Copies of this chain bind each other. A is one copy, B any other.
């Protein structure tokens, strides 16, 4: 039976991408060699890297002056690279603390200088996005997290700041159109909307680098990777290839505008049902609800949890368990999740209500 894959990440990828990735493991570009057993400097692999970089620039509508990198280490290594590359000696940074990952990013920066938390929603288990905060004008940069997978919140707008603007978009990149040029540095682990785990996308404005006075270790210096077009050392070829296929799929179908429209339909359907159905309740503040991850609870777990869990299992619904720090359920609706999977979930929610 085909599953409906609501996994929070690593998450569903387009079926056509999985098919092509699978084929390339056996025979890549009709070379009679596997993608993963040839040199990263062969012209076929260099072409993959070039196409992946070009697709990111095109899909995001980036102006001149940005570099696109495919690195390793996940967002967690970016938590370290951001202050290393952007915080001046004796400098200052401002962090918006909207969840576990935002907090980890802030903690890593504290080894480098003065870190101000400009807003923090931990008082209500990160169930909302702080508003009305001020970013100090003398900060070297402002860091935010656009979407919080665990808590199901998402920033609907970004503050105008008088310093560098840095955003961790790991869990909603390529899901909605933004003016990406308002940011100086964007990073994202691939494993939500872009590809398999194993590579990290970094989009950085070239002119902001090399200005801190710090000596940066080679592998942590964005300029190392810009100079070598992400091939300073052997890149994670398979993860980049599969990301390129996913970006190509997005472009061929109509780009970010196309997927944003579908993502809106999926989220509106599901939140509509959560609000309508008396058995369920959402956990995040309504105005801050994530269109990627919808967190919700059964109002009466003792009465309905067993039936609902059984019905989900019978219906082929995968990955709906909530994160332990929120509980309940979490439906992750990343780009590749079809509308029909949301409809299948809704059908089960309605059926539970009918049986109750």
Q: With CB as the reference atom, state the residue of chain B lying closest to A34.
A: B18
The 16 sampled A-B contact pairs (Cβ below 8 Å) are: A3-B33, A10-B36, A10-B39, A12-B37, A22-B25, A22-B26, A72-B77, A75-B233, A80-B217, A196-B236, A197-B238, A198-B199, A198-B238, A236-B236, A238-B238, A238-B239
Q: Which residues of B contact A3 (CB under 8 A)?
A: 31-33
Q: Does residue A61 face the partner (Cβ distance < 8 Å to B)?
A: no
Q: With CB as the reference atom, state the residue of chain B lying closest to A83.
A: B217
Other A-B pairs beyond A108-B218, A239-B239, 16, CB < 8 Å: A8-B39, A9-B234, A10-B40, A10-B237, A13-B36, A18-B37, A21-B25, A22-B22, A37-B196, A38-B319, A74-B233, A104-B218, A196-B238, A197-B234, A198-B236, A198-B237
Among B2, B25, B76, B233, which residue has its beta carbon within 8 angstroms of that of A32? B2
Copies of this chain, complex-wide, total 2
Q: Which residues of B contact A38 (CB under 8 A)?
A: 5, 7, 10, 318-319
Q: Does residue A220 face the partner (Cβ distance < 8 Å to B)?
A: yes
Q: A26-B19, A76-B233 are in contact. Are A34 and B7 (CB under 8 A)?
A: no
Give Cα distance in the complex from A154 to B238, angstroms. 29
Q: A25-B18, A233-B76 are in contact. Are A111 and B215 (CB under 8 A)?
A: yes
Q: Does residue A315 face the partner (Cβ distance < 8 Å to B)?
A: no
Interchain nearest-CB distance for A16 vs B (Å):
12
